[in-house]
């Protein structure tokens, strides 16, 4: 039977990771501290509130639940202002070609993102029409590394876990895919994405045939 592909959004299909980083950095700076790019890696794929908790901890800052709501909303306002200006040019290399190729071969495609802003991003970058199912931060209760987001996507595609291949740029996302019992293509570097079945720089480095071949691999 056929494979099904589940794509993370930020850092895999589109270059929004840089906007998340800028907005969080601005928030941290406004609170009187900073964090490194290495620390930022740990925020990838992690939902908004959990990200804020991690950043506040790095800065040694404690805030009440209400204050945290305000801070998260402020970051999101800055972030939304940035992604509202996104264009189709910000679709990452290889994304469009691969999505087109999968679609033309009748392979099902889902989005599996932690973001609550996925519909705005998909609309700005004209990618929305590729997806047979969309699961994002508005439809899940637990954040990556929990497998919920990918299991929901598989269910909506009517695909079994072992037929799914996940594309992820975040360590938390790779862990989520493994926990879901799926194959995982890491986008980035092997040091940042341990456990991936294969790691590539971007989606231009993989073909549909290679993705199909991954399915027959045994991971244990
Ligand atoms: C993305 C990013 C995370 C971000 C999360 C929530 O997940 O990688 O850094 O914190 O979404 O985004 P928002 O604040 O827009 O709801 P993914 O899973 O698409 O990489
Ligand atoms: Mg990501």
**CA–CA distance from 37 to each of 49, 62, 143 (Å)?**
19, 22, 21
* pTM of the complete model: 0.92
Residue in 9, 20, 73, 141 to alter for ligand 1 test, most ligand atoms within 8 A of Cβ:
20
**Cα 88 from Cα 100, distance rounded (Å):** 15
Give per-residue pLDDT as tens, 182-220. 999 999 999 999 999 999 999 999 999 999 999 876 544
Q: For this structure, is 8 an active site residue?
A: yes
**Cα 2 from Cα 19, distance rounded (Å):** 35
Report pLDDT for 200: 98
Give per-residue pLDDT as tens, 139-152. 999 989 999 999 99
ipTM score of the complex?
A: 0.92
| pLDDT lower than 50: segments of the chain | 219-220
Residue nearest to atom 14 of ligand 1 (CA): 48
**CA–CA distance from 8 to each of 14, 30, 53, 92 (Å)?**
9, 30, 22, 12
**Cα 88 from Cα 167, distance rounded (Å):** 20
Token pair, residue 104, equals 């033309």
Report pLDDT for 182: 98
Q: For this structure, is 15 an active site residue?
A: no
CA of 55 relative to ligand 1 center, distance in Å: 14
**Whether residue 145 has a cis bond before it, omega within 30° of 0:** yes
196 is in an annotated binding site: no
Report pLDDT for 145: 95
Catalytic residue among 10, 15, 163, 197: 10
**Cα 91 from Cα 84, distance rounded (Å):** 14
Q: Are 185 and 200 within 8 A, CB to CB?
A: yes
Residues within 6 Å of ligand 1 by CB = 8-11, 20, 43-48, 51, 76, 113-117, 137, 170
116 is in an annotated binding site: yes
Q: Are 142 and 192 within 8 A, CB to CB?
A: no
Report pLDDT for 1: 60
Positive or negative CA dihedral for 64, 70, 74, 77? Answer: positive
104 is in an annotated binding site: no
């Amino acid at each position: 039977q056929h494979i099904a592909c589940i794509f993370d959004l930020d850092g895999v299909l589109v270059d929004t990771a840089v906007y998340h980083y800028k907005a969080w950095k601005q928030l941290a700076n406004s609170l009187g501290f900073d964090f490194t790019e290495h620390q930022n890696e740990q925020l990838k794929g992690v939902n908004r509130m959990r990200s804020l908790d991690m950043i506040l901890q790095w800065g040694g800052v404690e805030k009440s639940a209400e204050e945290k709501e305000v801070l998260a909303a402020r970051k999101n306002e800055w972030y939304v202002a940035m992604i509202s200006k996104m264009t189709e040019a910000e679709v990452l290399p290889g994304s469009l070609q691969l999505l087109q190729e999968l679609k033309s071969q009748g392979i099902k495609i889902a989005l599996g993102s932690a973001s609550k802003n996925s519909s705005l991003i998909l609309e700005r970058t004209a990618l929305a029409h590729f997806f047979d199912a969309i699961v994002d931060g508005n439809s899940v209760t637990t954040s990556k590394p929990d497998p919920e987001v990918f299991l929901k996507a598989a269910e909506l595609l009517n695909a079994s876990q072992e037929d799914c291949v996940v594309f992820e740029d975040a360590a938390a996302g790779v862990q989520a895919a493994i926990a879901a019992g799926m194959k995982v293509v890491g986008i980035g570097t092997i040091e940042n994405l341990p456990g991936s079945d294969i790691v590539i720089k971007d989606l231009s480095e993989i073909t549909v045939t290679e993705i199909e071949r991954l399915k027959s691999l045994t991971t244990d």
